[in-house]
Structure 1
Amino acid sequence: MKPVIGITADVDKDGKHLLNNNYVQAIIRAGGLPFIIPIGIEGDSAQVTDLIDGLLLTGGGDIDPLLFGEEPHPNLGQVIPARDVVELELTRQMMKCDKPILGICRGLQVLNVAAGGTIYQDIYKQHVQPIIQHHQKAPTSHATHYVQLKKGSFLEELAGSGRILVNSFHHQSLKDVPEPFSAVGVATDQIIEAIESAQHQFVIGVQWHPERLAENGDSVSLGIFNRFIRACNNGKS
């Protein structure tokens, strides 16, 4: 049987659930069975965790800074508290049960906050050094900047190289990365682009969008989803 993958959706201010098909197709292509997780089910997160074999945390709007001990910066974007609550609760439940999680863009930030970390609310105003363009003007499936990978990390082993090209669509990024995570990928301006957990079978977050790059056959992006689904299969009886 195929592993069941819960996929979180973005939510607009009117409560409409939104999800780009790229995420769904990336899971199907890798051999998973995708199901979209709505807001409002945080009280049943333990049951949802039992039902799914893996969790895909997708991209979207900003995270409420109150959740990591800060008040809103003037450049903070749209916040949907109902989405934050569901994703953080599910993430903690999945990590407690050691079930696989893949966090993409905002999903990377959710992983970090769920573990007690912090984020820059706006890298262009808050980061300590000059940065490159992190919200590209190029097509979404085009890679625009490099990420240096930590030697011995899952991503470095997967890529077979210490440096990869990625796409980029964000104005927030990780600041303090807590255990069990470690930063395993950074851009040339030192913006954190990837984290991995040392205490879980597969809990990984990336700041870029591999579901977009996979459409063009990018080997690293395809590999990320294939390894994610393989880890989800390992947990099935």
Structure 2
Amino acid sequence: MTQAKPLIGISTYLEQSVRWGVWELPAALLPAGYHRLVQRAGGLAAQLPPDDPAAAAAVVSRLDGLVIAGGPDVEPVRYGAEPHPRTGPPARERDVWELALIEAALAAGVPLLGICRGMQLLNVARGGTLVQHLPETVGHEGHSGPPGVFERHEVIPVPGTLLARALPEPVSVPTYHHQAVDRLGAGLEVSAHAADGTVEALELPGAQGFVLGVQWHPEAGDDPRVMEALTAAARG
């Protein structure tokens, strides 16, 4: 018998004005790279638009795995900070919904992958903080290309980690972010870093299931191994 493909939920943007054809309306949307990567990795993709946070546990209970997608800056109030002048406008509805999804996944042991903003939000959910404008910390713009263009740089996995089992060697990854993990949240450990010391992946050792965050954008590249690790855990 062929094993059923795991159902992987992916959080989405909620935009107030999106144009297609003759229409311009509010829309929940997501770059196609996300669902294509899930499908390539052997999963079924389901988009999860923002909802009442009280519904998060019920939503997660229907899933075999959860992806918290990239997107806008996390509102600094979520980690007790004042906004930096370069921090983007808040996406409060999405922050609340995705934090509820993360908490529900952790409580239920549902495999969880955070991508870029998703990794940062996982850190915040565990009580960690963020660097609000990374170029001021590392002294260069190498983590983000021009507007709308991914940069590339190498990430170095930490041996023995969950990430290193999927990516055992240093790899060049597509990246686009100006914020990063600062103080680690409770129980989290770094599982990859960049040459400049920026945290590029983190995970929750000892957690029931699979809990991993990556700072880069695997959906914008051609390496499916991180998503394959999630779908493998989701099948389990």
Give the TM-score normalised by the residue count of structure 1. 0.88
Please tell me whether residue 228 in structure 1 is matched to residue 235 in structure 2: no
Question: Cα deviations across residues 7-33 of structure 1 (Å, max 9, x unaligned)?
Answer: 100123555322001100111111211
Matches within 5 A, 1:1-237: 1-13=4-16, 16-125=27-136, 127=137, 129-137=138-146, 144-161=152-169, 163-200=170-207, 201-214=209-222, 218=223, 222-234=224-236
Is the 1:58–1:106 Cα contact (8 Å) retained in structure 2? Answer: yes
- Note the aligned Cα RMSD (angstroms): 1.9
Is the 1:12–1:80 Cα contact (8 Å) retained in structure 2? Answer: no
Q: In structure 1, what is the Cα distance between the partners aligned to 2:226 and 2:8? A: 14
Unaligned runs of 5+ in 2: 18-25
How far residue 153 of structure 1 moved from its aligned partner, in angstroms, is: 1.4
Unaligned runs of 5+ in 1: none
Is the 1:9–1:38 Cα contact (8 Å) retained in structure 2? Answer: yes
Is the 1:13–1:80 Cα contact (8 Å) retained in structure 2? Answer: no
Q: How many residues align?
A: 224
Change (3 A) 1:99 1:167: same
Q: In structure 2, what is the Cα distance between the partners aligned to 1:78 and 1:12? A: 13
Larger proportion of strand = 2
Q: In structure 1, what is the Cα distance between the partners aligned to 2:103 and 2:168? A: 31
Give the match's secondary structure for 1:189.
Answer: coil
Greater CA drift, 225-234 or 145-154: 145-154
Give the match's secondary structure for 1:167.
Answer: strand
Read off the aligned partner of 1:136 and give its amino acid letter. Answer: G
Is the 1:149–1:185 Cα contact (8 Å) retained in structure 2? Answer: yes
Q: In structure 1, what is the Cα distance between the partners aligned to 2:64 and 2:139? A: 41
Is the 1:130–1:189 Cα contact (8 Å) retained in structure 2? Answer: no
Larger proportion of helix = 1
How far residue 45 of structure 1 moved from its aligned partner, in angstroms, is: 1.1
Give the match's secondary structure for 1:12.
Answer: strand
Give the match's secondary structure for 1:71.
Answer: coil
Give the TM-score normalised by the residue count of structure 2. 0.89
Read off the aligned partner of 1:134 and give its amino acid letter. Answer: H
Is the 1:59–1:107 Cα contact (8 Å) retained in structure 2? Answer: yes
How far residue 180 of structure 1 moved from its aligned partner, in angstroms, is: 2.1
How far residue 151 of structure 1 moved from its aligned partner, in angstroms, is: 1.4
Is the 2:157–2:167 Cα contact (8 Å) retained in structure 1? Answer: no
Give the match's secondary structure for 2:121.
Answer: helix
Read off the aligned partner of 2:10 and give its amino acid letter. Answer: I
